[in-house]
Structure 1
C-alpha cells in the first residue's frame, strides 16, 4: 500500500505521511476484509485511503467551516464515481479516477451500482455534517434519532460491507442485500461502530472546536456530564449488539423461508460473519491506532494533514 501511496503522491510530505501512518489504514482493512486475497485487499485499501484522506481534508483542512466549499469539494469526488466528465486536478481526484476505472473493469455492473451509490452517499454526508456543524442554529435542531440516520451513512460502513462480497468471492443477489433483516443488521453494526468512534474522536474534535457527535447531543438532551454521556453510549452500544444478533436470527429464518439459493444463503451468512468480525476489529483498531491523538492539534504547528488540494469554489457573488 505504501508503495502505491508514494507512486500516487497521495502523502507527498512528512506531515501527510505521519497522518496516514497514524490512521493505520492497512490494519483497518485487515480487520474489515480478513479473508481477501492480496489483489482484492490492495484495491480495498485504496478506497479506504481515499476515505480517510478526504475525511481529514474536509474536517481538518482548508474547507473546514465552510459548507459551500465542502459541497464543492464533495461534488468533485462524487462526479468521478458517477462518471461525469473529467476528474479534478488534485492528486486525490486523479488517483480516485484511476482506481475507479480499475474497479469498474474488475466487478459486475449491478454490484458497481450499489458500491458507487453507497460511496457517493458517504461523500455527500459531509455536506450535512458541515451544515449542521457551522450554520448557526442548525445543530440545535438535530436530535439523537436524526443523528443516527446521518451517522449510519457518514461512518462509511455500507461501501465496506459491499466490498466484502468480492473479498469473500461471491456477489449477492440484490434482493438478498435488500432484505429488511439484512438492512437492520447492517444498521445496528454501523451505528455501533460509528458511536464507538465518537468516544475516541471527541477529544481531538474538541481541540478543533468541533462538536458534531453523539456525546455532545446526549449531553445537551440529557443535561449530563461527559462521563454520564459516555456511560449512556456504552448502554446504547450494548443494545446495538442485541439488535445485531436479533437481526441475524431473523435473516437466517428469512433466507430459509424465502427459498434463497443455498449458495447465496451461505454467502449471505458469510458476509454476516465478516460484519461481526469487523465490529470486533473496529473496537480493537480504535485502541491500537494514533489517529485520534491530540499531540499534533495541541502543538503550535497544528494538525498533521494532507495538502489542501481539493478544488475551491469560485468566489460567491451577491
Structure 2
C-alpha cells in the first residue's frame, strides 16, 4: 500500500455556498438529460463521480448560481472529453478535435448532441465579455485541447517524455490556464493587457499551473496507472530514474513544496510591479483581487481530491501521511 505524502498547504480553506451548489447540480442534471450526454449508466456514474459543479464551487467560492451552472457544465464536458479521448486513438480524436476547434473559432456547426451542448455553453461563456479576455480564454482552451491530443500521439508513438517536456505540455492538458482566466469572469473584473503581460503575473500563473498539476499527479497516480496512462510525474519519474513508487511520490511532493513557495514569491513580486505600473488605483485593486483569487484555486485544487462529494479518485489503496 502506497503512502500519499503530506502535501504542504498552509492556505486557508474557503467552503462553497451549499445552496448555490444544490441549485447548479439540479440544473446540470437537467442539461445532461436534455442533450443525452450520458447514454449508459457507467458514463452517468463517471460524470457524477467527477462532480464538476462541486469542483467549480470550490475554485470560486463566491460564484453566483448562474455562473456556477455555466462553468459546471463546461467542466463536465471537459471531464467527459478527457475520459472519451483517453481510450481512443489519435485518428478518431482528430476529427472530434477539429469539430470543437470550429465551434471555438465561431465557424463550426456540430450535428451531434455533445457538440451542440459544447457550442451552447461556449457561446454563453463568451457573450458580453471583453475581447481581451475572450482572446486569452480562447487561446488557453485551444492549447488545452491540443495538449490532450498530444498525449494520445505520445502513447501511439511510444514516446515517454522527459520530465521537463512533460511539465510544459501538462500546463495545457490540466486546463489550469483557462481555469485561472475564469477568476475574472466570476468576479466580473477583467484585467488590462498591460497587467496580463507583467513578468510577475506570468510567473504566478505558471507556478500555480505547475503546482496544481503536480498535486493532481500525486493523488491520481493509481487511477492513471490503472487506466494505462503514463502521463503522470510519478510514473514518468519511476521509469526514467528507475526508482520505487514511494521514492517517486516523495520526490514529487518535494517539488510541489518548492512550487508552492514559488507561487507565494510571484504573488509578492506582483504587488511590487503593480505599484510602479501606470494604471488607475481601481485597476491596481482589481489586479490584486484576481491574483488573490488565483491563490484560492490553489487551496481549492487540494481540497477537491479529498471532498466527500467527489469520487473520481479512489484513494482506498493509499494511506495519507500525517
TM range (shorter): 0.7 to 0.9
Distance in 2 (CA, whole Å) between partners of 1:104 and 1:193 is 25
For 2:123, the equivalent position in structure 1 comes to: 101
Q: Is the 8 A contact 1:219 1:229 kept in 2?
A: yes
Among 215, 226, 238, which residue is 2:245 paired with?
A: 226
Count of residues in correspondence between the two structures: 287
Among 241, 246, 252, which residue is 2:260 paired with?
A: 241
Among 108, 113, 117, which residue is 2:135 paired with?
A: 113
User: For structure 1, which runs of at least 5 residues remain unmatched after alignment?
Assistant: 296-318
Q: Is the 8 A contact 2:217 2:234 kept in 1?
A: yes
Compute the TM-score of the two structures, normalised by the length of structure 1. Answer: 0.86
For 1:292, the equivalent position in structure 2 comes to: 313
Residues 1:256 and 2:279 are matched in the alignment: no
SS of 1:73's equivalent in the other structure is: helix
For 1:304, the equivalent position in structure 2 comes to: none
Residues 1:148 and 2:167 are matched in the alignment: yes
SS of 2:249's equivalent in the other structure is: helix
For residue 156 of structure 1, report the CA deviation from its aligned partner.
0.1
Among 191, 195, 199, which residue is 1:176 paired with?
A: 195
User: For structure 2, which runs of at least 5 residues remain unmatched after alignment?
Assistant: 1-27, 317-322
Distance in 1 (CA, whole Å) between partners of 2:62 and 2:239 is 42
Q: More deviation in 155-164 or 215-224?
A: 215-224
Distance in 1 (CA, whole Å) between partners of 2:36 and 2:131 is 30
Distance in 2 (CA, whole Å) between partners of 1:243 and 1:250 is 10
Q: More deviation in 67-76 or 165-174?
A: 67-76
After superposition, the CA RMSD in angstroms is: 1.7
Residues 1:72 and 2:95 are matched in the alignment: yes
Residue 217 to residue 13, structure 1, CA distance change in 2 (3 Å): closer
SS of 1:171's equivalent in the other structure is: coil
For 1:123, the equivalent position in structure 2 comes to: 145
Distance in 1 (CA, whole Å) between partners of 2:278 and 2:128 is 30
Among 193, 216, 224, which residue is 1:205 paired with?
A: 224
Distance in 1 (CA, whole Å) between partners of 2:181 and 2:147 is 18
For 2:185, the equivalent position in structure 1 comes to: 166
For residue 83 of structure 1, report the CA deviation from its aligned partner.
1.3
Residues 1:279 and 2:298 are matched in the alignment: yes
SS of 1:188's equivalent in the other structure is: helix
Q: Is the 8 A contact 1:6 1:12 kept in 2?
A: no
SS of 2:127's equivalent in the other structure is: helix
Q: Is the 8 A contact 2:171 2:213 kept in 1?
A: yes
Distance in 2 (CA, whole Å) between partners of 1:9 and 1:174 is 40
Among 14, 20, 30, which residue is 1:3 paired with?
A: 30
SS of 1:210's equivalent in the other structure is: coil
Distance in 2 (CA, whole Å) between partners of 1:208 and 1:48 is 21
Q: Is the 8 A contact 1:133 1:212 kept in 2?
A: no
Q: Is the 8 A contact 1:165 1:172 kept in 2?
A: yes
